[in-house]
Amino acid sequence: MSPQVTEARPRDREATRERILRAARELFGEQGYEQVTVRMIAAAAEANIALVGRYFGSKAGLFGAVLQGEPTFSALFEGDPATLPRRLAEYAAERMEHPPESPILRTLERSARHPEVQAVARERLLTAVLQPLEAELAGPDAHARARMATSVFLGIGAMRRRIGPETPTPADIDRLTAVFEACLAE
């Protein structure tokens, strides 16, 4: 009787980590945070379930790692600083009508109050929204001003989720521009 020969996948920590991230991004995006299990992610990545814990610590840690690869709104900062309030208003108006394009950001939006996701959601808000906006602001009280503008974004998202989408009018964008001008003023 000859020993059975099997083809083993070469051990490559980074490749395995990336497979797990890809599987998690796909599953979280399709099914949401609450519906996906670590076992499902490991199976989709063809990885040992223990590796998810080793590389990411927990399901919430893995979700946080997935979020790091998601787009931020830093592109809004490109251009004349004087027109930043208008760009923020146009972005906010888009959020009145549509959730974020990314399925992962939609999952974050839906699951932000989940106990396992709260710390991840807080970190995402700080690193992807509040801190980049604060870094763009000159003058005193940049943190407080960025915090006020970020509150407007959070409120718009909360309204859309609870009341439903609404098509913004040009007057809405003008009002939002005035709100962001007030929030960001020195």
Reported as a single tens digit per residue, the pLDDT across 74-112 is: 888 888 999 999 999 999 999 999 888 888 888 888 888
Q: Is the pLDDT of residue 65 over 90?
A: yes
Q: What is the pLDDT of residues 104-147, one digit of tens each?
A: 888 888 888 889 889 998 998 899 899 999 999 989 999 999 99
**Least confident segment among 127-131, 147-151, 174-178:** 127-131
Residues 6+ apart with CB under 8 A from 114: 33, 34
Q: How confident is the model at residue 6 (pLDDT cuts 50, 70, 90)?
A: very low
pLDDT (tens digit per residue) in 35-48: 999 999 999 999 99
CATH 1.10.10.60 boundaries in the chain: 13-68
Give the chain's length: 186
Distance separating alpha carbons of residues 23 and 16, to the nearest angstrom: 11
| Total-model pTM | 0.76
Give me the numbers of helices (H) and strands (E) for the chain, helices first please: 10, 0
Q: Say what the pLDDT of residue 11 is.
A: 65
How high is the pLDDT of residue 176? Answer: 97
CB 96 within 8 A of CB 172: yes
Largest alpha-carbon pair distance within the chain? 82
Question: How high is the mean pLDDT of the chain?
Answer: 89
Kindly report the CATH number that applies to the domain delimited by 13-68.
1.10.10.60
pLDDT higher than 90, residue 70:
no
CA-wise closest residue to 34 among 108, 100, 99: 108
Task: Say how many Å lie between the first and final Cα of the chain, rounded.
Answer: 82
- Please name which of 88, 64, 67 lies closest in space to residue 78, comparing C-alpha atoms: 88
Cα distances (Å, whole numbers) of residue 27 to 23, 59, 71, 73: 6, 12, 18, 24
